């Protein structure tokens, strides 16, 4: 292996091993998780709770509370529990 390739691979390995330099404040990180969980719940319970809405709608952070309310109102126990977690 040539010296230039060896140096290139070494540099890539060093960058991959470092801790991510992106920093998020705790509130932003929590909001990202809440939105991800709301999207997952929307897809999972679409047939029982969200059938009258566009399946391709784009959810935002403002929609998390709405998703939680729909889950708690129209879903079963499992959906209600997920909706309750989203409200925290």
Q: Which residues of 45-77 are buried (b: 16+ CB within 10 A; e: fewer)?
A: beeebbeeeeeeeebeeebbeebbebbbebbee
* Domain residue ranges in the chain: 22-87
The pair of three-digit structure tokens given for residue 85, joined into one six-digit string? 């977690």
What pLDDT score was predicted for residue 39? 97
What pLDDT score was predicted for residue 19? 59
pLDDT tens-digit profile, the chain (88 residues): 789 988 888 887 777 655 566 678 889 999 999 999 999 999 999 999 999 999 999 999 999 999 999 999 999 999 999 999 999 8
What pLDDT score was predicted for residue 78? 96
Segment holding 33, helix H or strand E: helix 26-44
Rounded Cα distance, 38 and 59, in Å: 8
What pLDDT score was predicted for residue 21? 62
């Amino acid at each position: 292996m040539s010296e230039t390739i060896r140096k290139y691979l070494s540099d890539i390995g060093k960058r991959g091993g470092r801790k991510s330099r992106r920093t998020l404040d705790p509130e932003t990180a929590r909001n990202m998780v809440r939105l991800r969980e709301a999207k997952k719940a929307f897809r999972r319970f679409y047939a029982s709770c969200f059938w009258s809405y566009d399946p391709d709608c784009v959810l935002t952070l403002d929609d998390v509370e709405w998703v939680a309310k729909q889950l708690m109102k129209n879903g079963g126990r499992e959906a209600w529990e997920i909706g309750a977690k989203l409200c925290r």
